[in-house]
A = this chain, B = another copy of it.
Amino acid sequence: MKAFLAALLLATAAPALAGDPCCATGDLGLVVERATGSLLVIDRSDHAALGRIEGLGDLSHASLTYGPDEHFAYVFGRDGGLTKVDMLTRTIAKRIVQAGNSIGGAISDDGKLIAVSNYEPGGVKVFDADTLDPVADIPLNAKTIGLVDVPGRRFVWSTWDTGEAWMADFSGPEMVLTKLGDVGKNPFDAVLTDDAHTYLIGLFGEKGVTAIDLWDEDPEPVRFLKDYGKTEDDLPVYKMPHLQGWAFTEGQYVLPAVGQHELLWVDRTSLEEVGRTPMHGQPVFIIAQPGSPYVWVNFATPLNDTVQVVDSRSHEVVKTLTPGAAVLHMEFAPRGAEVWISARDDNRVMIYDTHSLKLTGEIAAESPSGIFFTARAHRTGL
C-alpha cells in the first residue's frame, strides 16, 4: 500500500514536474471584455483562449499591467477597482476598490509598487504589489492623468485641474514628491517615450504639446507644436486620442491631429512637424509594429471598422484593412510577427500576420477592448 501510494504520489506530481506548457507565461495575455467585467486569458502561440476570469467590476476603459515574473496582472477598472489576477490559476488573487473612478495605473521598475491614477476623488494612490496594502496617498486636490512608471522606483503624472506635472520617488526610505512644472491648461493625457527620456503631455484647454526631459537633473517643461489641439472650427472630436497611442519610430513622434482625419509626424530631436498623412478617419491608437517601418492606426466612431498601415519613411498609407465592427485596440506580438485586433461589436479578436497581412486566426470574446500580452512586463512607461 505504501509503495502504491508513493507511486501514485509520483505519478500525480509528474504533470507539474514535466512542465505543463501553460505554466510558461511568456506568450500569455489578457483581453478586456468591457461589457461583462471579465478577462479572457489568451495563449499567443496557440491562437487560443484558455479561460475566462469574471467579477472585475466596471471594465469600460480598463487597462492593466504585469508583475516582472508575469505571474500576476494588475487591472485598473473605471469603478476604482484594483484587481490582482493570477495568470497561472486564472483566478482573482485579490481585489480592492480604492477610489470612485480610476483611469489607469503603473508598476514600479522593481515590480514592488502599484500606482493608480484617480479622477474621483483625484490624486494618486500607491499600493504594495504583493498585498495591495496602501503605501502612499497623494491627493493633490486634482484629477490625475498620464501616470507612468519611470526607472528608479519613480512615477510621473499630470493634473487635469491645475495643469501640473509631478514625480514621486520611492527609491529611498521616504517618498520624495517633486513638482516638475506647470505644463499648460487641462492636460488630457500623457505618454513616456520608449527610452524613458521624454514625458509628453497633450493639452485640452489650450494649444500645443508639452515635453519634459526626465533625464535632466532639473527638468523644465518645453512647449512645441503650438498649433496642436482642439479648435471650434475643426471637425467634431468623437474621441480624444490616446497619447499612449503615440508611436515612436524612425526618429519621429507620430500623433493624431485632434479632430482631424490626419496623422502628424514630428522630428524627435527638433520637435518640428515634418509631415502629415491624410487618413480614413480620426486616429485613436497609432502603434508602431516592432522591427519595421510601419505604424498601425485605428479610428474613432463612426469610421471604426477600419485599420490603416502607414510607412514612417514615406508617411504614406500602404494598406487599409477592415477587421470588423468597432475596432478598439491593437496589440503586437513583441517581436512584431503578428497583430491582434479587437472588434468589439463582432465579439471577436482578429489575428493578422504582419508580413503577409493575411488573417491567420480569430478568437471569440465578449465585447473585447484592450489586449495585453505578458511581454509588457518587460517594458518601461506602460
Asked whether, in the complex, the Cβ of B68 is within 8 Å of the Cβ of A27, the reply is yes
User: Smallest CB–CB gap between A361 and chain B, Å?
Assistant: 12
Q: Does A378 contact B (CB under 8 A)?
A: yes
Contacts of A197 in B (CB 8 A): 293
A71 an interface residue at 8 Å Cβ cutoff? yes
Chain B residues contacting A52 (CB-CB under 8 Å) are none
Q: Are A334 and B378 in contact (CB under 8 A)?
A: yes
- Cβ of A292 under 8 Å from chain B: yes
Query: What copy number does this chain have within its complex?
Result: 2
User: Does A69 reach chain B (CB closer than 8 Å)?
Assistant: yes
Question: Which B residues are CB-close (under 8 A) to A44?
Answer: 68-69
Instruction: Please report the C-alpha to C-alpha distance between residue A25 and residue B293 in the assembled complex, in whole angstroms.
Output: 31
Q: Is A66 an interface residue (CB 8 A)?
A: yes
A21 to B249, CA, bound (A): 36
For the complex, give the distance between the alpha carbons of A199 and B60 in Å: 43
A335 contacts which chain B residues (CB < 8 A)? 68, 109, 149, 151, 378-380
Partner of A26, one of B16, B71, B379, B381: B71
Contact of A337 with B25 at beta-carbon distance under 8 Å, contacts A291-B195, A356-B171 already known? no
Q: How far is the CA of A12 from the CA of B21 in the complex (A)?
A: 19
Shortest CB-to-CB span from A1 to chain B, Å, is 10
The A238-255 residues at the B interface (CB cut-off 8 A) are 249, 251
A151 to B109, CA, bound (A): 28
Q: Residue among A9, A24, A171, A215 with the most chain B CB within 10 A? A: A24
List CB contacts (< 8 Å) of A52-91 with chain B.
Answer: 66-71, 86-89
Are B69's CB and A111's CB within 8 A?
A: no
Asked whether B171 lies within 8 Å of A68 as measured between CB atoms, the reply is no
Min CB gap A167→B, angstroms:
14
Q: Which of B13, B23, B66, B269 contacts A12 (CB 8 A)?
A: B13
| Residue ID in chain B nearest A313 by CB atoms | B215
A262-287 CB contacts (< 8 Å) to partner B:
269
The reply to whether A12 and B15 contact each other, CB–CB distance below 8 Å, is no
- Quick one: closest B residue to A215, CB to CB? B293
A118 to B379, CA, bound (A): 33
Instruction: Tell me, yes or no, whether A355 is within 8 Å of chain B by CB.
Output: yes
Kindly identify which residue among B15, B111, B269 contacts A251, using a CB–CB cutoff of 8 Å. Answer: B269
- Ranked nearest first, the 6 interchain pairs of A and B with the lowest CB-CB distance are A26-B70, A196-B291, A19-B88, A16-B16, A24-B71, A334-B378
Supplied contacts A215-B293, A375-B377, 11 more A-B pairs, CB within 8 Å: A15-B16, A16-B16, A18-B89, A24-B87, A25-B26, A26-B67, A26-B70, A26-B374, A68-B335, A151-B355, A291-B381
Residues of A within 8 A of B (CB): 5, 8-9, 12-13, 15-21, 23-28, 44-45, 66-71, 86-89, 109-111, 149-153, 171, 195-197, 215, 249, 251, 269, 290-293, 313, 333-338, 354-356, 374-375, 377-381
19 A-B pairs within 8 Å (CB atoms) are namely A8-B9, A9-B12, A13-B15, A16-B23, A19-B86, A20-B88, A23-B24, A23-B71, A24-B25, A27-B68, A109-B333, A110-B337, A151-B336, A153-B337, A195-B291, A291-B381, A336-B380, A375-B378, A378-B378
